[in-house]
Structure 1
Amino acid sequence: MARPRILVVGAGFAGVECVRRLERRLTPGEAEIALVTPFSYQLYLPLLPQVAGGVLPPQAVAVSLRRSSRYRTRIVPGGAIGVDPDAKVCVIRKITGETVYERYDLIVLAPGSITRTFDIPGLVDQAHGMKTLAEAAYLRDHVIAQLDLADASDDPEERASRLRFVVVGGGYAGTETATYLQRLTDAAIRRYPRLDPALIKWHLIDVADRVMPELGESLGESTLRILRRRGIEVSLGVSVAEAGPESLRLTDGRVLPCRTLIWTAGVAPSPLVGTLGAETVKGRLAVAPDMSLPGFDGVFAIGDSAAVPNLVEGDGAVCPTTAQHALRQGKACAANIIRRLRGQPLQPYRHRDLGLVVDLGETDGVSKPVGLELRGLPAQAVARGYHVMAMRTQVSKARVLTNWLLNATAGDDFVRIGFLSGQQATLRDFEYTNAYLTREQIREHSALLAAGVSGGAGAT
């Protein structure tokens, strides 16, 4: 009898944790395990602002899947672009561009999220995101390039637009991104004698009435004071009305000269969710407490693309899209898959949120672990300690610690490596949001597979 095929889509916190638990708890004869991911690493997303700010190199936050697995899982190098739950087929576009098909008996959907955008003129063409390793590396190059170009120009208007940097989104990602990149430009400007440091303007804006609302009012006010002390202008209650190549128009009527718009105003579930035709909650798959998808045999969903009921809070609440929930959902989902394979009842997911930690660079931080409010260096120490413990391998822990020490003792470097030099890389380019199939296209692919038509050299 053939072994059941378990297909895990996505190598984020949820997907990798699920695979690791399946590898540990299942015997080789119980199931085949495959993981669909375009990259051979798990991205430690919370430290991306430090990559953009030059504190950490990209490889420090890219944890090798080959190191962290037990070599039983087959890695499919590509992205899932559609799922046919009736035929139990996942359509995958490999990194070569060819389309292949993976049959499954059980599938775990953990494709994560993409940057949430709105119908704002010019936004998707001008904004830079902070969701991928390539975006962080590109953004660092781009910011340093603006300093170089401003230094080479004698045009006051060009200098003003190149030296104003706007970050939209006052949550975790936007606040850390603004502080780490402001720290980078503050250190770099000393190397540009032709530029007045006062010309550099960092601006954080958010439509909400306070920054870091996840931390509560008191720590939010502390964060606001840190930002303003660091010279970052904060505008609340406003957003972008129109984005152009050299300026921004805000909803309060102001027009800002600006050639760097960083968009971190929330996330949206992966477009893969829409290919199933299942019920959703704010775009996330509406799963049962045991993380199975009602009405879809053999389908589980976890992480940012799943609205997992929060049984601790109750009243219809769903789990927030945080790393700690994704990790624990991955473990719990793997346990339920094993129970299903062994004919045991599934168990609901339940986890109490342990709080949030925020590292703002230098000696600044605000954290709220298990309800305890911390500020300054103690908050930063807790944040960095948590990140090191959460890293997947000893090699990744050593890389992060070593680079923190190197940056603290040797300072910053401002080398622009020329990543995608001369190309205005957009959110679509980095996050592949146009790659997904419609439900009709998925059914066509399933029909081809049923007729015995190959989808490429790696088709199954």
Structure 2
Amino acid sequence: MALTPTFSSRPRVLVVGGGYVGLYTALKLQKKIAKSGGILTLVDPLPYMTYQPFLPEVAGGNIEPRHAVVSHRKHLQETELLQGSVTSIDHANRTAMVAPADGGAPFELPYHDVVLAAGAVTRTFPIKGLAQSGIGLKSIEEAVALRDQVLSLIEEAGTEKDPATRKRALTFVVVGGGFAGIETIAELEDMARAAVKLNPLVDQSELRFVLVEAMGRIMPEVTQSQALWVVEHLRSRGVEVLLNTSLDNAEEHNLKLINLPDKSLAQQFDADTLIWTAGVMANPMVRSTDFPIEPRGRVSVNTNLQITGEFGVIPNAWAAGDVAAVPDVTGGLPDGTCVPNAQHALRQAKRLAKNLWASRFNKTMTGYKHKNLGAVAGFGQWKGVAKIMGIQLKGAPAWLAHRGYHGLAMPTVERKYRVITDWFVAMVAGRDLSQLLNLDNPRKTFVEAATPKPKPAAAAPAQAPAEEAKAPESADAKEKAPAAK
């Protein structure tokens, strides 16, 4: 008989989402809440936090996939962890509906304080065939699948005789010219060329990489001159960078591009690999709450990270990260809010935890203020671009800055150690070029072995020699001969 889970009746701080904000809020508050007689509950469909800036390096074989995630169960041992999704929030009655990840019956969960930390999801457009032909790069599972797909297609192309099928397998397309898209195509280009060096059946000239960006420039976080340098750098590596260009159709892996500035380029071609990195948006679950939502789909908060409405602060309601419109008092986006990135999310989580705890004792809260220090990006071994406090870097110095920043920003000492170890190993032994097959069907080999094989057909009886077969007919004919007379 299945057991019915029993949840604590202690005053609850409910954290919705286990990403940057959720993890750090729980890390900073779990002991304090427990000692005060309450309980901190974190709800997320995944049992881990993903450090998303590492996804391109996971896809490129520089970082072991499990090292780019942080286990909730291991590091939040004084937190009540529920694997599922918050589907709605009724803050007026301090309750949330939770749908278990295993498909069980939804249940109601009461709380005292709620922290919205649901983050962002991939933003797509109604392009025909995109859902069937494309893959994103927002989760660790997508990064692993992408790495295996690229390596597998190179192997398959080596034995493919049909020129069109071979060309389609060796064409890799990324849509989106932001940090994620640029780092992804650069890491995959590096990995693919390293794989082809080991495969005499495929030539480097057969590899094709295409970057599609709808705007007139890439990477708005860096300066115009740096963005132009990145375009030149990618083109020097054989990447086709198509600016002011959009994907119009992707049915059956046949990609149709529109608005190409260079009319001599083919507007339609086949590609087995289509990677979508064209932006994110606030998690739409916030629309299933009774909190005010601003035009970009985020909840409205003040600098203290308290959710605010028409009549001021909403008691016991907090939000930060990509799901919140956090005012940027230093000057950020044109709408005056913080840029939705990991740099802000990590710092906002720490400030939110301090302010939530201070509110319990009516102490003064401190508003969130952090000037963006800049941006760093890695394009494969010893290649990158960075803008740090106004200082522009490119090449090896930028690559080192990228590794230094993200090595420090990776949550928990344990995960820092694992990632840095991966980097040292990759520098000495090269990136890992091993693909894992049948991850979507791991039982395939066992099922084939355990399935009874059909018995071979019984052998047909041996045929008698021609002379013996005709003998009875001759004898019979002799017996009938006199009667004929």
Q: Give the TM-score, by structure 1 length.
A: 0.87
> C-alpha displacement at 1:367, in angstroms?
0.8
Q: Does 1:286 align with 2:304?
A: no
Query: 1:282-313: CA deviations, max 9, x gaps?
Result: 11112222222224442211111111111111
Q: How many residues align?
A: 421
Greater displacement, 94-103 / 9-18: 94-103
Aligned partner of 2:338 in structure 1 is: 319
Q: Does 1:306 align with 2:320?
A: no
Instruction: Report % sequence identity.
Output: 36
Amino acid paired to 2:300: A
Task: Output the CA distance in 2 between the equivalents of 1:229 and 1:218.
Answer: 16
Aligned partner of 2:413 in structure 1 is: 394
Aligned partner of 2:88 in structure 1 is: 82
Aligned partner of 2:253 in structure 1 is: 246
Q: Does 1:148 align with 2:155?
A: yes
SS in 2 for 1:248: strand
SS in 2 for 1:288: coil
> C-alpha displacement at 1:3, in angstroms?
4.8
Amino acid paired to 2:149: H
Residues 369-408 of structure 1 correspond to what in structure 2 (within 5 A)? 369-408=388-427
SS in 1 for 2:252: coil
* Alignment check: 8 A CA contact 2:14 2:41 kept: yes
Aligned partner of 2:436 in structure 1 is: 417
SS in 1 for 2:304: coil
Task: Output the CA distance in 2 between the equivalents of 1:341 and 1:175.
Answer: 44
Query: 1:379-398: CA deviations, max 9, x gaps?
Result: 11111011111122222122
1:65 pairs, out of 69, 72, 88, with: 72
Aligned partner of 1:94 in structure 2 is: 100
Task: Output the CA distance in 2 between the equivalents of 1:330 and 1:385.
Answer: 22
Task: Output the CA distance in 2 between the equivalents of 1:366 and 1:128.
Answer: 26
Residues 186-335 of structure 1 correspond to what in structure 2 (within 5 A)? 186-252=193-259, 254-277=267-290, 278-295=292-309, 296-313=314-331, 316-335=335-354
Q: Does 1:40 align with 2:47?
A: yes
1:349 pairs, out of 360, 368, 372, with: 368
Task: Output the CA distance in 2 between the equivalents of 1:281 and 1:157.
Answer: 46
Aligned partner of 1:340 in structure 2 is: 359
Aligned partner of 1:452 in structure 2 is: none
Task: Output the CA distance in 2 between the equivalents of 1:142 and 1:271.
Answer: 30
Greater displacement, 194-203 / 79-88: 79-88
* Alignment check: 8 A CA contact 1:226 1:364 kept: no
Query: 1:166-216: CA deviations, max 9, x gaps?
Result: 001111100000001111110111233222221110111101111112111
> C-alpha displacement at 1:260, in angstroms?
0.9
Task: Output the CA distance in 2 between the equivalents of 1:289 and 1:240.
Answer: 39
Greater displacement, 50-59 / 99-108: 99-108
Q: Give the TM-score, by structure 2 length.
A: 0.83
Task: Output the CA distance in 2 between the equivalents of 1:68 and 1:214.
Answer: 33
SS in 1 for 2:435: coil
Task: Output the CA distance in 2 between the equivalents of 1:422 and 1:400.
Answer: 28
Greater displacement, 344-353 / 135-144: 344-353
Amino acid paired to 2:343: Q
Task: Output the CA distance in 1 between the equivalents of 2:57 and 2:361.
Answer: 44
Amino acid paired to 1:338: W
Higher Rg? 2
Amino acid paired to 2:301: V
Cα RMSD after superposing both structures: 1.9
1:177 pairs, out of 178, 184, 209, with: 184
Query: 1:256-296: CA deviations, max 9, x gaps?
Result: 22111100001011121111153223111122222222244
> C-alpha displacement at 1:248, in angstroms?
0.2
Residues 160-175 of structure 1 correspond to what in structure 2 (within 5 A)? 160-175=167-182
> C-alpha displacement at 1:415, in angstroms?
2.2
Task: Output the CA distance in 2 between the equivalents of 1:353 and 1:413.
Answer: 34
> C-alpha displacement at 1:152, in angstroms?
2.5
Task: Output the CA distance in 2 between the equivalents of 1:422 and 1:151.
Answer: 24
Task: Output the CA distance in 1 between the equivalents of 2:405 and 2:46.
Answer: 25
Q: Which runs of 5+ in 1 are unaligned?
A: 424-460
Amino acid paired to 2:50: L
> C-alpha displacement at 1:87, in angstroms?
2.5
> C-alpha displacement at 1:377, in angstroms?
0.9
Task: Output the CA distance in 2 between the equivalents of 1:370 and 1:179.
Answer: 25
Query: 1:61-100: CA deviations, max 9, x gaps?
Result: 112234433x221111222222222222222222221123
Task: Output the CA distance in 2 between the equivalents of 1:24 and 1:355.
Answer: 33
> C-alpha displacement at 1:222, in angstroms?
1.9
Query: 1:215-268: CA deviations, max 9, x gaps?
Result: 111211221122112211100001100012231001137002211110000101
Task: Output the CA distance in 1 between the equivalents of 2:152 and 2:393.
Answer: 36
Are the structure 2 counterparts of residues 326 and 413 from structure 1 closer, same or farther at C-alpha, using a change threshold of 3 Å? Answer: closer
Q: Which runs of 5+ in 2 are unaligned?
A: 1-8, 261-266, 443-485
Task: Output the CA distance in 2 between the equivalents of 1:285 and 1:265.
Answer: 22
> C-alpha displacement at 1:30, in angstroms?
4.9
Task: Output the CA distance in 1 between the equivalents of 2:52 and 2:251.
Answer: 28
Task: Output the CA distance in 2 between the equivalents of 1:129 and 1:25.
Answer: 38
Aligned partner of 1:126 in structure 2 is: 133
Are the structure 2 counterparts of residues 316 and 228 from structure 1 closer, same or farther at C-alpha, using a change threshold of 3 Å? Answer: closer
Amino acid paired to 1:204: L
Task: Output the CA distance in 1 between the equivalents of 2:330 and 2:146.
Answer: 39
Amino acid paired to 1:77: Q
* Alignment check: 8 A CA contact 1:8 1:15 kept: yes
* Alignment check: 8 A CA contact 2:50 2:69 kept: yes
> C-alpha displacement at 1:26, in angstroms?
4.7
* Alignment check: 8 A CA contact 1:138 1:419 kept: no
